[in-house]
């Protein structure tokens, strides 16, 4: 299988005051194969979200590299990186971050319009994805009118709208009850299986991690493969 993402020797520290720093990543490395669901686990506060943000180019490392299809993300300036991120990556967070004043359809369509699609084409793509994630019947509802599970399904559709090479998810079911978490997990695995979508998921959910194609534990700043 082809590696979509190659992560090499990522380090990251943060100043904590009084000339002191907190080092959260100490040479983290891993490869992500095309079509895989990869889980990253570890204790709270170990830097899992920091690592995910670096993989998604939302933050820059102190050293190391992230290659997406061979493209060195941190060899680009911020403007080029923003465009690359919007067109090649999707993001799903624990809290859906849907825009409250827009409908589900509009929330999904907006990243496609930013990428250059017309309103008509972006909305057509949004409707296709809302159908895929089984919330097309809620296309005209605003986030406040949706259940937690529906909000996350809309967030998944939004993450997919620009045909990303990889979707990065940070505790995507962490704010859902057990039933809706199970439904979201089934959706993610269905997308990986039926559409070849690649996911990297930070999770505390043991059931989700157990189903992943590969699981990595972040421990003392390094990524260790789980047996």
Q: 102: pLDDT confidence band, cut at 50, 70 and 90? A: very high
Single pTM value for the model: 0.84
pLDDT at 19: 78
Per the structure, the complete domain to which residue 186 belongs is given by 3-225
Would the pLDDT of 96 be above 70? no
Q: 106: pLDDT confidence band, cut at 50, 70 and 90? A: very high
Structure tokens at 49: 């979200």
Q: Give me the CATH number covering residue 152.
A: 3.40.50.300
Per-residue pLDDT, averaged over 123-136, amounts to 88
Q: 227: pLDDT confidence band, cut at 50, 70 and 90? A: low
pLDDT at 9: 92
Total domains in the chain come to 1
- Give 3-47 pLDDT, tens digit per residue: 888 999 999 988 887 778 888 889 899 999 888 889 998 877 778
13 burial (CB, 10 Å; 0-12 / 13-18 / 19+) is middle
Integer CA distances (angstroms), 205 to 49, 162, 224, 227, in order: 15, 28, 18, 17
pLDDT at 22: 83
Helix (H) or strand (E) segment spanning residue 33: strand 20-33
Check if the beta carbon of residue 57 is closer than 8 Å to that of residue 66: yes
Q: Which is higher by pLDDT, 199 or 194?
A: 199
- Side-chain-side CA neighbours of residue 17 (13 Å): 0
CA distance 40 to 51: 9
Check if the beta carbon of residue 28 is closer than 8 Å to that of residue 223: yes
Q: Nearest Cα to 167, choosing from 7, 8, 37, 25?
A: 37
- Measured from the Cβ of residue 158, the count of other Cβ atoms closer than 10 Å reads 27
HEC profile of 49-90: HHHHHHHCCCCCCCEEEEEECCEEHHHCCHHHHHHHHHHHEE
Integer CA distances (angstroms), 81 to 51, 57, 60, 75, 121, in order: 17, 7, 11, 9, 24
CA distance 126 to 107: 9
- Give 153-186 pLDDT, tens digit per residue: 898 888 888 888 898 988 877 777 777 778 778 8
- Give 44-91 pLDDT, tens digit per residue: 777 888 899 899 888 889 999 999 988 888 888 888 888 888 778 888
């Amino acid at each position: 299988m082809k590696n979509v993402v190659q992560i090499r020797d990522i380090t990251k520290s943060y100043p904590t005051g009084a000339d002191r720093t907190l080092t959260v990543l100490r040479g983290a490395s891993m490869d992500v194969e095309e079509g895989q669901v990869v889980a990253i686990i570890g204790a709270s506060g170990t830097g899992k979200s920091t690592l995910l943000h670096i993989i998604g180019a939302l933050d820059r490392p102190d050293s190391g590299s992230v290659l997406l299809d061979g493209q060195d993300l941190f060899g680009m300036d911020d403007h080029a990186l923003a465009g690359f991120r919007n067109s090649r990556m999707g993001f799903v967070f624990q809290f859906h971050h849907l825009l409250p004043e827009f409908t589900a359809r509009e929330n999904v369509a907006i990243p496609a319009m930013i990428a250059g699609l017309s309103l008509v084409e972006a909305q057509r793509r949004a409707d296709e994805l809302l159908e895929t994630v089984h919330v097309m019947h809620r296309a005209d509802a605003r986030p406040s009118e949706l259940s937690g599970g529906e909000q996350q399904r809309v967030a998944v559709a939004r993450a997919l709208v620009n045909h990303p090479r990889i979707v990065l998810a940070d505790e995507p079911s962490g704010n859902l009850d057990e039933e809706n978490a199970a439904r979201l997990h089934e959706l993610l695995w269905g997308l990986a299986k039926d559409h070849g979508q690649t996911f990297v998921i930070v999770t505390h959910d043991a059931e989700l991690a157990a189903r992943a194609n590969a699981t990595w534990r972040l421990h003392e700043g390094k990524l260790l493969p789980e047996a």
